[in-house]
Every structure is written in structure tokens, then in C-alpha cells.
Structure 1
Amino acid sequence: MSDAAQPTAAEVRAAAEAVKTALDRHLAAVERRSGEDDPAVYEAFNQLAAAAEVYDELLYDRYDEVTPFEIPGAEDLPPYAGPEEPNAISVLIRRDYAVAEPERLLAQAQRVEAADYEEGGAAGTVHGALGLLFGEFEPDEIASRHKEFGLEEGDSTLWVTAADEPAEPGEWLEAPFEQADAQRVVCRFDVSAVFDDEIDEIDEDVEDPEDTEDVEDDLDREGLEPLDAER
């Protein structure tokens, strides 16, 4: 990139201020959220991701430096190309579970069946128990009580996509996710153990005993003593 095309120092600083503002808005949205799937939090997350990306690019172009920011899922989406003022939205949710304890799943289904259904038998198989429980409870309730049902959480994702007009009744029921357009995703939120693993790796690096010994050696050379961790 030529010097003439490089961003100015003022532009980089303005982008940094935009990140700070977006951080404040995201924290405020989180503090005020009305539930696990609050759209205001997703919108603030999306704005923070966009601001961080702009700052990262300008910082690299001007100073050849990068940031440690990594927004899960943000790089997988193309630029938004939907309507500026959507008249309708679709919320697409996928949650994966492993059937970790089939006996617990069957027992829960059998209790529901005995209490609410005159004819039994559906809760005698795993697939029958799943059909019964997911028919009896809302998906959000199963998500919050999954361990009670013998399930183990896997990855999950929520997409909010913009539409020009609401769909006609019954229009998409046969193939509910077929028409999902990544360019119309207003915001997206992913939950995965992959992100937890990355955090664990960072923690392991920070707590490396060799790193601690190096710090103590540096303090000795400076004639200083480490702080007592129990104070």
C-alpha cells in the first residue's frame, strides 16, 4: 500500500474510539438484557465486531500492527446486503445435543406420559421419548434443563435474518432453513466448546510454571520481591 493510501493517525484513533464506544454499548446491552436470546445484545455484539474489524484493518495499514481481537463467526459471514429497514425478520436457531444418559431421558418421558397421556408406549424408546419431551416442553426450557433430560449440550447458533416481507403462512415449513441467505444476516451468535478450549489454552499459557520462574528471576535481578498471593 502506498503512503498516499494509508490511513492517517487521526483515522486510526477515531476507529479506536469507535471500539471503545461499541464496548460500552455492548456492556450496557448485556447489563440490561431481558433473557438469553435478547436481540439488543446480538445487535451490540455485531456493532462491536464491525468496529473492531475496522480498527484492526486501519491499525495494520498505518502501523503494521494487529490486535488480539477475534470475533467468533464474524469472518464466516459475507457483508450484509439485505434491506436497510427490514419489514420482517426470521430467527433461525440450531442447538445440538448428545443423548448422554438414555435411562434418564426415558425416565423423564415416562413420568410425563403417565401424568398427561391416557395411552402409553411412546416413552419406551429413545426416539419416542425425544418426540414426547420436545412436544411437551419449549425448546428454551429443554435448553435450560437439558441435564435433567439426560442430554449434553453441543454447539448452538442463532441467526437473525432480514426479510422484505413476512412469509405467507405455510410457505417455508417443508424446508425451513433452505432459504437462509447469509448476506441477510443482521446478527449471529454462536456457542461452542471450541471457544472454551481456546480460553483454556490461554490460561495454560499464562499459568506455565516456567513463565512464573522467569518472572521471579527478573524480580531477583531488580532486587524486588513478589507480592504474597494470600494478602
Structure 2
Amino acid sequence: MSDAAQPTAAEVRAAAEAVKTALDRHLAAVERRTGEDDPTVYEAFNELAAAAEVYDELLYDRYDEVTPFEIPGAEDSLPPYEGPEEPNALSVLIRRDYAVAEPQRLMAQAQRVEAADDEGAGEVAGTVHGALGILFGEFEADEIASRHKEFGLEEGDSTLWVLAAEEPAEPGEWLETPFDQVDPGRVVCRFDVSSVFDELDDDGDDGDEDLVDDIEDEELEPLDADR
């Protein structure tokens, strides 16, 4: 980079001050949060991420130095938003992964559901795939998520995508292929939960407090299952 294109020292200092301001706003939003999906917290998180990215770039361009900040996120892998400026509709796509950690517990819970329905514990609840069908048919996906250990399940990664649309889809329009026509350019935002964030946190120095520490606080607990 030529000297003419380099940012000034004042610009780097201003970017550093912006990070400090964003940190204060983020902490204040977390302290006042009203729930796990508080939009104020996510807005503050995104502002902090953006400020940190600008500072990192200017610092490198001016001084050939980098920061310890690393904010893993799916937004970096998404193309620029190309959807409507004022969406009239939206689609929420959610995926949650589970491991069947205790098959016997899973089937026992399904047999209880069958017994409560006066159908008796039959062969359907005696298989893992049959038990899954019974439990997911009986309980809302959110309840499965909050009680997954009771059902012998172990949580894996999860993600939530919000897509903007011009108009709502016609009834039944996409039911046969609900996930085959996702346009990444219409993704307004996405939120991911993964153990990889814990691993990144563990890889840091014990004495360092960087932005990775905030990732787990900002991960959205999905609202529904990917069904």
C-alpha cells in the first residue's frame, strides 16, 4: 500500500475509540438484556464486531500490526444482501442437530406418551426412529430443545437464518422442497451455536479477554426446529 493510501494515525486512534465505545454499549446492552433473543444485544454485538474489524484493518494498514480479536461468524461467508430494502415477508430457516445419546431413555419416553394416549406401548415406540416420530409429534420443537436430556438426546450445532421476501409464499407453494431454494443474497441475518466457539475460547491465553469471550453470550437460541 502506498503512503498516500495509508490511514493516518488520527484515523487509527479514532477507530480504537470507536471500539471502546462499542464495547461500553455492548456491555450495557448485555446488562439490560430482557431475554436470550434480545435484539438490542444482537445489534450491539454486530456494532462491536464491525468496529473491531475496522480498527483491525486500519491498524494493519498503518502499522503492519494485528489485534487478537477474532469473531467467528457465518456472516463472513454470506454474499452481500440483495433482498428488498423493506421486506413484506420473511422466512425463518432453522436447523438443530442432536445425537441420540441414550436410545433406551428415548424409547421409554415415547412409550410413556403412547401409554398416556391409551394406545399402549406398542412396537412403534420400541424403535429409535419410531420413538423420534412419536416425541416430535407430541412435543413442540422448542420443548424438545429445552428438555433434550430427558429424551436421551445430546445437542449439536444449530443455526437460524432469516430471509427477506417481497411477498409471502402461497399456501403449499414450497412444502415439497422447503429448503431447496434458499437465496443467500436474501439472508438478512443468521445466528449459529456450535461447540467450535468454546474451542476457540479455550485456545486463547488465560489472561486475555478478547471478543471471542462474547460470542457465547450473543448466540441465538433458535425458536423452532427445522422440520
TM-score under structure 2 length normalisation = 0.79
- Match in the other structure for 1:54: 54
Q: Distance in 1 between matches of 2:78 and 2:202?
A: 26
State the Cα distance separating 1:102 from its structure 2 match.
0.2
Give 2:165's aligned amino acid. A
State the Cα distance separating 1:106 from its structure 2 match.
0.4
Q: Distance in 1 between matches of 2:86 and 2:10?
A: 32
- 5+ residue gaps in structure 2? 208-227
Higher relative contact order, structure no. (Cα contacts within 8 Å, ≥ 6 residues apart): 2
State the Cα distance separating 1:37 from its structure 2 match.
3.7
- Match in the other structure for 2:100: 99
1:162 aligns with 2:192: no
Verify the 8 A CA contact 1:43 1:187 in the aligned structure 2: no
Q: Distance in 1 between matches of 2:40 and 2:69?
A: 21
Give 1:110's aligned amino acid. Q
Deviations 1:1-42 (A, max 9, x none): 111111222322333333333334433443444443444443
Matches of residues 9-28 of structure 1 in structure 2 within 5 Å?
9-28=9-28
Q: Distance in 1 between matches of 2:190 and 2:110?
A: 33
1:180 aligns with 2:177: no
Comparing 97-106 with 124-133, greater Cα deviation is found at 124-133
- Match in the other structure for 1:80: 81
Q: Distance in 2 between matches of 1:57 and 1:64?
A: 9
Verify the 8 A CA contact 2:106 2:128 in the aligned structure 1: yes
Give 2:173's aligned amino acid. E
In structure 2, do the counterparts of structure 1 residues 15 and 75 end up closer, same or farther at CA, with 3 Å as the change threshold?
same
Verify the 8 A CA contact 2:112 2:121 in the aligned structure 1: no
Q: Specify which structure has the higher proportion of helix.
A: 1
State the Cα distance separating 1:86 from its structure 2 match.
2.4
1:3 aligns with 2:11: no
In structure 2, do the counterparts of structure 1 residues 23 and 170 end up closer, same or farther at CA, with 3 Å as the change threshold?
farther
1:132 aligns with 2:148: no
In structure 2, do the counterparts of structure 1 residues 135 and 117 end up closer, same or farther at CA, with 3 Å as the change threshold?
farther
- 5+ residue gaps in structure 1? 207-231
- Asked which structure has the greater CA Rg, the reply is 1
Give 2:113's aligned amino acid. V
Comparing 159-168 with 59-68, greater Cα deviation is found at 159-168
Verify the 8 A CA contact 2:80 2:185 in the aligned structure 1: yes
The root-mean-square deviation of aligned C-alpha atoms, in Å, is: 2.3
Verify the 8 A CA contact 1:160 1:187 in the aligned structure 2: yes
Give 1:140's aligned amino acid. D
State the Cα distance separating 1:111 from its structure 2 match.
0.8
- Match in the other structure for 1:214: none
Comparing 190-199 with 114-123, greater Cα deviation is found at 114-123
- Match in the other structure for 1:143: 145
1:90 aligns with 2:83: no
State the Cα distance separating 1:65 from its structure 2 match.
1.4
Verify the 8 A CA contact 1:46 1:187 in the aligned structure 2: no
In structure 2, do the counterparts of structure 1 residues 152 and 45 end up closer, same or farther at CA, with 3 Å as the change threshold?
same
